[in-house]
Structure 1
């Protein structure tokens, strides 16, 4: 047993003793005032805490000062397979497509969706994946991705097993939603769930923060926790039994993501890579995406919050951004690589985030914080921190309009409205390519609502056969 972690079978006295040994016995300050069920809840929660990990994170991460572990001042450009321009580049792209399609047909590819987030910012109390993103018809993010996978199954005649990562906050609701929707027709036996771990939040003094008298303040361990979750849940073994050796990784809030993109798969396989990434050109230097490059000779991603403004604004002679390659959380991952990252313990580093955390004080009453005051630390891991550990990797540029429309904010950029607008723009371009006339406004945007299911067309195919008649201004196109 890990020296700093308890098992659920330990008696309450042992739970309290270990907490005291690590200077965290304040979590039981209100023990005598709790009901029996509250005591059981608290004891179970505390028994799951890895006290040694929390001690180490406070000493080695929280107290660390100076520049980030990855010093952005040492960032250097790294090779990117750009959008094909020359005939040679187009030929290589076509070669990659063929390699990727063969891997898909041979059943080597699986899907890995990260969906641990809640829809709080969007006014949704449940999992973000349940958010309705359909421009016309009601369609959740989960359904949109499921329809893409169903369409890919039909195209390539492969199972495309799907792993969905949840969190403590979203797990039960996500499973219930999939059951309610009959797994979107995919078949329950082709979908598996894994749950990322949560870590306690601590105060600036290293002491565990209490959400209430009977519960700790907990938070998910970041999207990097997906690497541990998929391993610990047994999902890697399940994928291997299905013949899957490579995973298409994506996040739930990106409505445009091209799941299992054969060109991306092909580039990854042709390079013998263990982890590969898609990037797109940043909108501007302020965009909140990390940038990819070499740091001390190793491929890495510098998080946007760690990139100083003067570096972020650097330009090339042609006036474009020097650090243009934005990391958009679309990856290819080898199953064997994920196994290696978990051998002998979880390998990814933890990052600290100072936050204003709602908690109770020593008197058991809510702590009142001043505006802007940060009273605690949360720890998380990032998926892209696995890049330096990969023996080989490729970075592939993609077009934002084809692959990246995240929903992060309630309004403005990266919002439901902007995501629906990008979906509509993409579908309009497909219809025009198929010979249809799409009415447009003075600014060039479609003057109609369009909603095309991936089951109808996943990349613009078959739309020429649609009998939709004239598309009227302000009208709806549903296919």
Structure 2
């Protein structure tokens, strides 16, 4: 017997104008109610909400109510037509019951804020190609590295302050992990990408090691908040379960999903990526700030006594999770939001720049930074706007709540031209050459100007920033593994642990050794004594010999 399960397409069917929601044992014929075109006349049976079988006998499977009450199809059409988006239903007559249900649910959800979505799209597209006014921009301020005038004594004091914060259990960790490994030729969530220079352990596994090390040193379990997207949520949850949460207490790991925003064609029309589906994409890393609130994570933080959130992106294996120096400076500056920055390698490097806009600390995305300002030099010939944002932040809990309450105003939507699968035109069922539409997203760093006080800390790119963005070349798995090995070699050298010349790759277990200081503290005389804490290989990085 074939079971047709409507849980993911229709949910519990609510039709206010046609009577109460369906109950077990009630009939819903093909000519009854607003959803008649979606469901053939069959008898629902069982002791509760159920799926129905192809022969109408009832399957007894629970139906999960959707977030929004489904609207009548005529009302849905009218809402979209009023806003010039009636084409969303152009293929309705060709759809089967399941496809109609899927489109109806998605359209009902979008209908709630369709006017606002259209206005966001117009504003974002209008802003494309308009650089921030030069007269409003001035260089930002940052706590510099010692080689650029920083004070090592202050850094050590900040470290002690940060360690006290960690020991008090006030710090949580949040990773943005909604991306897929498609550009790397990898099927699956980016956090599952194998990056260990010797073991090929995944990004998630490496970062879990760092969190276990933090817990060991601080005496407190660190909650790990993992943000996924619709595309990566199920596979990420399955991976964490299969890997036994990478050695962490499952109760300390909370996985939540970011929101989605619809895509638009060049004529400001919603794009249909299939006859029954409106194209949507994750709402950007800025979506983390609203998702943290909507998913209950902020309440979870408060319940745990956590009021500082360390934020980073999953594709940077060099990130120093819960860096006590960074946390300490954040506290000493009495900041609500902090940023780490590196000195840009050159004017054309594709990273946002931390500067002041109208006197407020801000991050200017590289696509919105004028070439004139990008190349501007200081008296010593260095870049005037050198502070490259590396997407590592600290947030105060009360600041996160304030941003989440007013996110529509405080976090503007940005548009980027993209090639998007589209069936909007019957004559062109797939995207033509070049961008055919816009994807929209929010940026997490747009929260920075709204903080009452901020802290910007300079760090070394060679030690803390090696994102995996491309399949080869710069910012690739190969370059990132090479930087990891370089860091490990430096730790061994500082600890006086000899590395034989035939060793091509080194990998250190971060739950045991997470810095040169910890390598020194082990008192190891050689690599052999380290056991499994230090792996070596005579083959190329990323492959065991």
Cα shift at 1:286:
1.5
CA–CA separation in structure 2 for the residues paired with 1:266 and 1:52? 44
Cα shift at 1:350:
0.9
Q: Which residue of 1 aligns with 2:78?
A: 17
TM, length-normalised to structure 1: 0.92
Q: Which residue of 2 aligns with 1:381?
A: 442
Q: Which residue of 2 aligns with 1:369?
A: 432
Q: Does 1:343 align with 2:405?
A: yes
CA–CA separation in structure 1 for the residues paired with 2:72 and 2:241? 37
Q: How does 1:434-445 map to 2 (within 5 A)?
A: 434-439=495-500
Q: Which residue of 1 aligns with 2:15?
A: none
CA–CA separation in structure 2 for the residues paired with 1:476 and 1:205? 50
Please, which of 454, 468, 476 is the counterpart of residue 527 of structure 2? Answer: 468
**Secondary structure of the equivalent of 2:301?**
helix
Please, which of 57, 73, 76 is the counterpart of residue 120 of structure 2? Answer: 57
Q: Which residue of 1 aligns with 2:64?
A: none
Please, which of 341, 345, 348 is the counterpart of residue 286 of structure 1? Answer: 348
* 8 A Cα contact 2:198 2:536, kept in partner: no
Q: Which residue of 1 aligns with 2:483?
A: 422
Q: Which runs of 5+ in 2 are unaligned?
A: 1-66, 530-534
**Distance change (3 Å), C-alpha of 1:265 and 1:273:** same
Q: How does 1:133-152 map to 2 (within 5 A)?
A: 133-152=195-214
Q: Does 1:239 align with 2:295?
A: no
**Secondary structure of the equivalent of 1:184?**
helix
CA–CA separation in structure 2 for the residues paired with 1:102 and 1:145? 22
Q: Does 1:296 align with 2:358?
A: yes
**Secondary structure of the equivalent of 1:326?**
strand
Q: Which residue of 2 aligns with 1:443?
A: none
Q: Which residue of 2 aligns with 1:117?
A: 179
Please, which of 94, 100, 104 is the counterpart of residue 33 of structure 1? Answer: 94
**Secondary structure of the equivalent of 1:147?**
helix
Q: Which residue of 1 aligns with 2:163?
A: 101
CA–CA separation in structure 1 for the residues paired with 2:149 and 2:100? 69
* 8 A Cα contact 1:72 1:302, kept in partner: no
Q: With a CA cutoff of 8 Å and minimum separation of 6, indicate the structure with the bigger relative contact order.
A: 1
**Deviation per residue, 1:103-154 (Å, 9 max, x gap):** 0000000001011111000111211111000111021111111110011101
* 8 A Cα contact 1:450 1:476, kept in partner: no
**Deviation per residue, 1:207-264 (Å, 9 max, x gap):** 1001011111111111111101111100000011000000110000001000110010
Please, which of 488, 491, 494 is the counterpart of residue 433 of structure 1? Answer: 494
CA–CA separation in structure 2 for the residues paired with 1:183 and 1:231? 23
Cα shift at 1:319:
2.4
Please, which of 299, 313, 316 is the counterpart of residue 251 of structure 1? Answer: 313
The structure number with the bigger radius of gyration is 2
CA–CA separation in structure 2 for the residues paired with 1:338 and 1:232? 12
**Distance change (3 Å), C-alpha of 1:85 and 1:53:** same
Cα shift at 1:368:
4.6
Q: How does 1:370-409 map to 2 (within 5 A)?
A: 370=433, 373-409=434-470
**Deviation per residue, 1:363-420 (Å, 9 max, x gap):** 27523513xx222111111111100000000100001122111101111111000000
